[in-house]
Amino acid sequence: MKKIRFLNLGKHPITNSFLSKINSKKEFFYNLRLVYHQDTKLISLDSFVPPKKMFNDKYAHRASASITMSEAYKNLAKKIKKKFRPKSILEIGSNDGVFIKHFSKIKNIGVEPCRNLANVTTKMKIKTYDKFWTMYLSKKILKKHGRFDIIYSANTISHIHNLNETFKAIENSLTSQGVFILEDPSLLKSLQKISYDQFYDEHAYVFSITALKNITKKTNLEIFNIEELKTHGGSNRVFFKKKNNKEIKVSKIVNKHLSNEKKFGINKLKTYQIFAKKVKDSKKKLIKIFQKLKKRNNKIIGYGATYKSSTVLNFCQIDKNYISYFVDTTPTKAGKFTPGTHIPIKSYNGISDDVDYAFLGAWNFKDEIFKKEKKFRRRGGKFITHVPYPRII
């Protein structure tokens, strides 16, 4: 399988390793380089970071932390119950139970390798396997619980390195009428928004529909529907059924996505080389903005210490000399320092009066944040963003 490198984003720390104290010598860094796979059109990191370095009992991300996301998962659960009437559901990457907890009346099983999170759902009386999703685990679950009508996985499959094994294990674990629902950031949206921050250690892949189709070709799984979502700045919810299940029809939307991607050039190396050039321009412009504001002695903070922002800050080398501190609503991030750039993180308590600018780490929640920060904006406070191009808003 030939892969061609098209972008080097430099040295990066583990995005999830928020530091309790700064000890630069101990910090682990890896090379963040992106490649294009010629035969499957898949976009991935050139070399992967060992999973145990990323997903362990210190994992900080809590899916329930955002009101927007909690509501979205609740509504999705309602929709799935109504549409598919499942008798059983398995979630791969169940995090803190934000989604699976809505299925307490049927057989609901979670798979979550981060023990601190698996403990949360176990306490909710949801049987949770604190293991990585592998063929071995899927066989164990199959033996104990049987097959599932729905397998759901949001922002997880793109984290798993061995895709062939992953899809094969899903195929084996689905009932004949079963549906697998995958949700992950959209490659097309990332390219259109120059949001190179979609790439970091955990995101081994950013999927296009084209690549998903190609990599599942040899399985008995087939895409039958796609929904576009706003999550993570643009995601796809992709519905798979078994190929021999003729009761579910393949929606026209699938071919529409494939032809849109083709038009954009998803299957051409040139597209990624152009993207790489735009990313380098974006870096130059963002640094200029920070330098200009710093020269004027403006006070700049970060808003939302996201994983995405780790890519931006480490790539652009924007550190504590530019950003005084981050505010973030996630309790486990408060009191720590951002990986690589060592910016202190404070628990969110509004934006203080002495702040002039806030860098939107959580740009994917821009609308929610702008609504919340009316006072800051009214008194002349401004946000800095890099998506789709670096600017002050």
Name the minimum Å distance from CB 63 to ligand TYD. Answer: 8
32-to-7, 138, 200, 293, 307 alpha-carbon distances in Å: 9, 31, 7, 28, 14
The stretch near ligand TYD (CB under 6 A) out of 166-174, 288-296, 300-308, 334-342 is: 300-308
The stretch near ligand TYD (CB under 6 A) out of 21-29, 98-106, 128-136, 329-337 is: 329-337
Residue ranges of alpha helices (H) inside 59-134 are 67-84, 115-123
Extract the tokens encoding 391: 């600017």
Quick one: which of 94, 128, 173, 330 contacts ligand TYD (CB under 6 A)? 330
Output b/e per residue, 290-313; b: 16+ Cβ within 10 A: beebeeeeebbbbbbbbbbbbbbb
Any contact of residue 70 with ligand TYD (CB under 6 A)? no
Q: Could you give the CA distance from residue 108 to residue 137 in angstroms, rounded to a whole number?
A: 16
Any contact of residue 117 with ligand TYD (CB under 6 A)? no
Quick one: which of 112, 149, 184, 328 contacts ligand TYD (CB under 6 A)? 328
Any contact of residue 66 with ligand TYD (CB under 6 A)? yes
Query: Of 84 and 370, which has the nearer Cβ to ligand TYD?
Result: 370
Quick one: which of 6, 73, 307, 325 contacts ligand TYD (CB under 6 A)? 307
Contact set for ligand TYD, span 257-296 (CB under 6 A): none
Residue whose tokens read 């579910």: 248
Q: Could you give the CA distance from residue 239 to residue 72 in angstroms, rounded to a whole number?
A: 17
Quick one: which of 88, 138, 364, 385 contacts ligand TYD (CB under 6 A)? 364
Any contact of residue 348 with ligand TYD (CB under 6 A)? yes
Q: Could you give the CA distance from residue 388 to residue 367 in angstroms, rounded to a whole number?
A: 15
DSSP secondary structure, 57-76, as one string: TT----GGG-HHHHHHHHHH
Q: Could you give the CA distance from residue 285 to residue 234 in angstroms, rounded to a whole number?
A: 23
Name the minimum Å distance from CB 223 to ligand TYD. Answer: 24
Q: In what order do the strands lie in the sheet with 127-129?
A: 127-129, 107-111, 88-92, 148-154, 174-185, 235-242, 221-229
Any contact of residue 138 with ligand TYD (CB under 6 A)? no
Any contact of residue 306 with ligand TYD (CB under 6 A)? yes
Residue 228: CB atoms within 10 Å: 14
193: closest CA among 233, 155, 229, 235?
233
Name the minimum Å distance from CB 229 to ligand TYD. Answer: 12
Q: Radius of gyration (Cα) for the chain, nearest Å?
A: 21
- The interface mask with ligand TYD, positions 153-182, x = CB under 6 A, is ------------------------------
The stretch near ligand TYD (CB under 6 A) out of 90-98, 120-128, 289-297, 323-331 is: 323-331
Query: Of 167 and 205, which has the nearer Cβ to ligand TYD?
Result: 205
Task: Indicate the residue whose CB is closest to ligand TYD.
Answer: 304
Give the binding site for ligand TYD (CB under 6 A).
Answer: 61, 65-66, 304-308, 328-330, 333, 348, 362, 364-365, 368-369, 372
